[in-house]
Structure 1
Amino acid sequence: MTKQRKMGFFVLTALVIGNMMGSGIFMLPRQMAEVASPLATLLAWIFTGAGVLMIALVFGNLAVKRPDLTSGAQSHAYAFFNRPKAKQMAGFIAVWSYWVANWAGNVSLITSFAGYLSVFFPILNSRDSFVEIGEFTITEGQALTFAVCTVLLWGIAFIISKGVSGAGKINLVATVAKVGGFFLFIIIAVFSFQSVKMGAFYHPVYDSSGLKEGLLSQVNSAAIVTLWAFIGIESALMFSGRAKSGKAVQAATITGLVVAVMLYSLISILALGLIPKEKLIGSASPLADALNSVIGSGGSAVMAILALICLFGSAIGWVMMSAEAPYQAAKKRYFPSLFK
């Protein structure tokens, strides 16, 4: 990667929001409704949001007070030890683990993009035979999905190769669009909200074995779901070596978290007032069904477009992260130099 212009507050904030809010948000209302009452859902967001805020503050303070640590958590692991071999091993394990985890995340984002694209191009779900090799059959839908995923991945790689700063700005545009779309959904939900559909603000929930779960058990179950939603909080810190300042990293991390928590919690609660809980739990596309109940069948298309925007922006952000992690590690010599 060639030397790029430094990233500012808005680009870094977009990376934090965009990487946290991928495809998962579209299933959150259903996942939360399955395990918790509205009160427990709200408390789970408050408690986990406060806990992750502590992590965000740590990341922000490290960016300000240790500007020499420019490659995220891997450089912190490296700096923790004094012995050279221990430093190298800690740095390598941190970056390798993070990098490998990103592979699976990128696959999920890219294949989900093709899945939502099938709303407009049903041929992506075609089960007609395309190629047969012995007993193994590749369908037309699988072949076209592979082609879409390949073009998307290499297209993003091409964008990033032209400059990380430029890719960050494209991610900023996608993030503004997705946040705007979710705010529009929230506004529609506020004016269409029906408390009778949501039911009691607190009520017992029964697990798969039929046992009744009280408030604390519900909060615990919901917190397991909410914590997954914060993956990506480290995004600005990972690019601290390209940031204009440590303060920009600090502000972007905290701002991105606050915006994400606000959107997550509002969408999780308001969706309960658009369709009955029983229908929400049984829905394969809860936000689309919630919007359909207000504006008609067009809700599915609107949500599919919003999902495509979300996934495109998140894919850019996570592919950038997947390239930045080994690149910075190679510069610090605890990853092979060919990754520079």
Structure 2
Amino acid sequence: MSTEIAGPEAATGPGPGIQPLPSRFGLPTATALVVGSVIGTGVFGLPTALAAFGPVSLVAFVLVSIGALALALTFGALAKRISGSGGPYVYAREAFGEFAGFLNAWCYWITAWAGNAAIVVALVGYVEVFVNTEHQVGWSIVIALAGLWIPALVNLSGLRNMAVTQIVFTVLKVVPLVFMATVGLVFVKSANLGPFNASGTSIGGAISAAAAIALFSYIGIETASVAAGRVRDPERNVGRATVFGTIGCAVIYVLGTLTVFGTVPNDALRETSAPFTAAANAIFGGQWAGQAVAIAAVVSGIGCLVGWTLIIGEMPMAAAKDRLFPKAFLRTRRDVPSFGIISSTVLASALVVVSYTNFEQVFTTLVLLSVFTAVVPYLFSAAAQLYWLLVRGRKAEWPHLVRDCTVSILALAFAFWALAGSGYQAVYYGVICLLLGVPLYIWLKAGQREYNGAKS
């Protein structure tokens, strides 16, 4: 499959503050970046988390998928207006000013490297199905660090290698999930589903609680917009990649979860830590199918890390070009943001080591913070689109304006719902983490001798 890397002649006009990039990739790679970043190792444990609610959680998943699609359409519309790299950072800066843009870049950067630490810890569990089966901490750390630095090296070797790897790994991990979400439906037995609402609460309460879990499954749908400066014809392809990727993930999530619900009895599903493995063993018998799923989970985790490793360099580099992040993040190697990738991977490595040295609760809290810091840029992006429509969109035809405003409002509501679902503790510490960026902003502006955009 072609990775559609284009030369300088393929470049289209970059957004404000973004310089043309010498190499770009097309729609297949952009879509693979979205799918690869959204579908990591978490999907392989998702049905267990939802089993306590029963099949009613599928209703929640559908509702959340609609909200995620509204957000995807919003990112697509914003990419048509501002085609440079940076995604939520650029949208917030253009709509609400430099400080809002900086806070979005700061939040999203934390999301990226802390999220990578969470992904690789989950990845280790599947690797240890085959090696280090006694879970010796020292070797677990070694495996985790390898899981972080191999994707970093892939990215540092050049954009073309990253594009090829991302497509290959996305195909390899999506194929078994698609199989479970299609052929697996044939083996669904209604007796395994259990009661429609197994939560013991009202249906509305069960849907809300299940949605709080399902909401986190779509983090990453914005990655094509973050790397928009790398995408050929971004005004067209970023939106398409985001929507196609979100729809594909939604289908895999909903139907795959239904397959697991229908092939593994509800009581057993609540106890397993590898629901897709249990479903595969139930369909085919024996243990080989479960081991195959473990391999798919490892591939999925590595592919996810390859995509997110590019993103942890792209976002701060876009902000650094506008002097809203330290200029060190402008350093590149083979046309990739080398300093951003290396420094962020170092931070993720440190977080992994902490998580394996008797500080699991601290690590869990930081992972929840990464969810909070992802949703804040979502909220600003939806707000930026709504603001643009209300201020400049009045020249459009009323049916189109009403449609676009409805989508933006739905995306905004989705972001608020995600914030509420992250929990009080995550919101509390998340606000502190957000405001920790203020001293950095002061230091950057003081060094530039600027106040309110004017030189002192």
TM-score by length of 1: 0.86
Deviations 1:188-232 (A, max 9, x none): 4222221222245x3x434xxxxx322222211111111100100
C-alpha distance in 1 between matches for 2:120 and 2:42: 13
1:272 has 2:272 as partner? no
Instruction: Choose from 103, 118, 121 the match for 1:111.
Output: 121
1:312 has 2:328 as partner? no
Deviations 1:24-61 (A, max 9, x none): 111111111112x31x2232122111111111111101
Q: Could you tell me which residue of structure 2 aligns to residue 56 of structure 1?
A: 72
Q: Give how far 1:170 is off.
A: 0.7
C-alpha distance in 2 between matches for 1:19 and 1:195: 33
C-alpha distance in 2 between matches for 1:158 and 1:28: 29
Q: Could you tell me which residue of structure 1 aligns to residue 371 of structure 2?
A: none
Q: Could you tell me which residue of structure 2 aligns to residue 234 of structure 1?
A: 222
Q: Could you tell me which residue of structure 2 aligns to residue 289 of structure 1?
A: 278
Do 2:182 and 2:255's aligned partners in 1 also have CA atoms closer than 8 Å? Answer: no
After superposition, residues 70-149 of structure 1 pair within 5 angstroms as: 70-81=85-96, 87-123=97-133, 125-126=134-135, 141-149=136-144
Q: Give how far 1:99 is off.
A: 0.7
Do 1:48 and 1:223's aligned partners in 2 also have CA atoms closer than 8 Å? Answer: yes
Q: Give how far 1:164 is off.
A: 2.4
After superposition, residues 197-276 of structure 1 pair within 5 angstroms as: 197-200=192-195, 202=196, 204-206=197-199, 212-245=200-233, 246-276=235-265
Which has the larger displacement, 98-107 or 233-242? 98-107
Q: Summarize the Cα distance change of 1:144–1:4 in structure 2 as closer, same or farther, 3 Å threshold.
A: farther
Q: Could you tell me which residue of structure 1 aligns to residue 324 of structure 2?
A: 334
SS at match of 1:213: coil
Q: Could you tell me which residue of structure 1 aligns to residue 38 of structure 2?
A: 20
Gaps of at least 5 residues in structure 1 are 82-86, 127-140, 207-211
C-alpha distance in 2 between matches for 1:305 and 1:233: 24
Do 1:72 and 1:234's aligned partners in 2 also have CA atoms closer than 8 Å? Answer: yes
Q: Give the aligned CA root-mean-square deviation in angstroms.
A: 1.7
Q: Which amino acid aligns with 1:275?
A: V
Deviations 1:244-301 (A, max 9, x none): 1221000000000000000000011111111110110111211111111122211321
Q: Could you tell me which residue of structure 2 aligns to residue 8 of structure 1?
A: 26
Do 1:4 and 1:165's aligned partners in 2 also have CA atoms closer than 8 Å? Answer: no
Q: Give how far 1:147 is off.
A: 2.1
Q: Give how far 1:10 is off.
A: 0.7
Q: Summarize the Cα distance change of 1:272–1:154 in structure 2 as closer, same or farther, 3 Å threshold.
A: closer
1:170 has 2:165 as partner? yes
Q: Give how far 1:3 is off.
A: 4.6
Q: Following superposition, which runs of at least 4 residues in structure 1 exceed 4 angstroms of deviation?
A: none
Q: Summarize the Cα distance change of 1:41–1:4 in structure 2 as closer, same or farther, 3 Å threshold.
A: farther
Do 2:31 and 2:242's aligned partners in 1 also have CA atoms closer than 8 Å? Answer: yes
Q: Give how far 1:112 is off.
A: 2.2
Q: Could you tell me which residue of structure 2 aligns to residue 196 of structure 1?
A: 191
TM-score by length of 2: 0.65
Gaps of at least 5 residues in structure 2 are 1-19, 331-456
C-alpha distance in 1 between matches for 2:58 and 2:147: 36
Q: Which amino acid aligns with 2:42?
A: G
Q: Which amino acid aligns with 2:198?
A: V
Which has the larger displacement, 318-327 or 107-116? 107-116
Do 2:185 and 2:258's aligned partners in 1 also have CA atoms closer than 8 Å? Answer: no
Which has the larger displacement, 107-116 or 236-245? 107-116
